[in-house]
Amino acid sequence: MEGVLTVLVLVGRQRAKELIARIESIPEVCVLSHTHDSSLALARARVLLPDALVVDLTALPADAASVVHRARGLGLPSALIVHPAAGHRSDELIRTLTRLARDQHPV
């Protein structure tokens, strides 16, 4: 999608609606897909080739390090953003995605 930062989100079911809404509030960002399943997220990343892969740690109670390692091992051009899921950190995630979108597609 030209002019838009595409994002795939790995997020726990309980936070999906809130986090997706926050991300999609950025005009320059489009969520291509989201899931709570880490294997499915990585498979989708290989097919969809998003500009950014957001890993929300609420989706990974035990295997966060493994998922991040596997995501890096894919060799995708995607930016990997690990979101710690703390309330005030959502603002940091939004700033990061906004910066990536503007860096990728300067006005």
Q: Give 15-50 pLDDT, tens digit per residue.
A: 889 899 999 999 999 999 999 998 999 999 999 999
Q: Across all residues in the chain, what is the average pLDDT?
A: 85
pLDDT at 24: 94
87 Cβ contact partners less than 8 Å away, ≥ 6 residues apart = none
Q: Which domains does the chain have, with CATH numbers?
A: 5-104 (3.40.50.2300)
Distance in angstroms (rounded) separating the CA atoms of residues 58 and 16: 10
Query: Which of 2, 89, 80 minimizes the C-alpha distance to 42?
Result: 80
43 Cβ contact partners less than 8 Å away, ≥ 6 residues apart = none
pLDDT at 15: 85
